[in-house]
Amino acid sequence: MRIATWNVNGLRARLDYVRIWLEARQPDIVGLQELKVSEEEFPASAFDDLGYEVVVYGQKAWNGVAILSRHRAEPTLRGLPGQEAFGARLVGARIAGLTFATVYCPNGKDLAHEDFGRKLEWYDDLVRYWPSEVGADEAAVLCGDFNVVPAPIDSWRGEAGDGSIFHTPEERSRYGALLDLGLRDLFRESCPDTRAYSWWDYRAGAFPRGHGLRIDFVLGTSRVLERVVEVRIDRDFRKKQEGLTASDHAPVIADLDWEAV
């Protein structure tokens, strides 16, 4: 079973690129973020042609999350209660014996912006909501763009980044509270010392310079962690493919020893 997460930065602009990636990597379940498309305009038929069911929580222009699945998907979570005004950022489904959810956590913009405080509150609500829906003893995955750099190794700036947006103690404590619910960062658990990033700014030549951050994660409960075969960040798909522009995020892929049930 191959699962993945990917912030695609606009699904309509990225559709041909996403298709190339799906055909190359053949994932079973994918959490997508930043669709930037209404549900009416979501290209469901393109995914149907590729053999994927879709579960979508979209909105016009911004945000938006979806799950693609080769197995039957039964929708479960849709939105974070009380946080609807902050956009379509959480969707979940029951697939192949797994609880699979994907999130697009708020960016926060900068420390002085009102969205920074709203980001922390959004995280607080997620930490309250998740255990009300998903047990720590379940086989569950929460993947997505968390917009938090967990540790200096996850930032091109290393410790020099500490205190700046994505790297603050306030953000890290909220993210830590999420992990304390029994969720484990499958990449970091598999590769404790690997410096790898999942996002590079489009500007200032950040990608060729190695100026990246690791902010996209596949989190899993211990029942998922014990089934991990390999986790990797698919850096080749931050590059142009067949002349098509990449997202500013790379996909994160986790291979599990898991049979669909």
Partner DNA sequence: ATGTCTACTGATAGTAGA
Active-site positions read 104, 145
Nearer to DNA, 9 or 221 (CB): 9
Cα separations in angstroms, 83 against 37, 79, 90, 118, 204: 19, 8, 10, 10, 34
Residue 191's CB is within 10 A of a number of other CB atoms, namely: 14
Q: How many residues bind DNA (CB under 7 A)?
A: 22
Write the CB contacts of 205 (distance below 8 Å, at least 6 apart in sequence): 211
> Does 62 contact DNA by CB under 7 A?
yes
Nearer to DNA, 72 or 209 (CB): 209
Mark 195-224 with x for binding to DNA (rule: CB under 7 A) and - for no binding: ------xxxxx-------------------
Q: Which stretch binds DNA (CB under 7 A): 20-28, 36-44, 120-128, 177-185?
A: 36-44
Q: Which stretch binds DNA (CB under 7 A): 10-18, 47-55, 167-175, 253-261?
A: 10-18
Q: Judged by CB under 7 A, which of 51, 74, 109, 159 binds DNA?
A: 109
> Does 11 contact DNA by CB under 7 A?
yes
Residue 71 gets which letter from DSSP? S
> Does 227 contact DNA by CB under 7 A?
no
> Does 10 contact DNA by CB under 7 A?
yes
Give the helix/strand (H/E) hosting 143. strand 140-145
Structure tokens belonging to residue 158: 């290393």
When computed from its CA atoms, the radius of gyration of the chain, rounded to whole angstroms, is 17
Picking from 33, 54, 58, the residue whose alpha carbon sits closest to that of residue 45 is 54
Which residues contribute to the site for DNA (CB under 7 A)?
9-14, 36-38, 60-62, 106-107, 109, 115, 201-205, 245
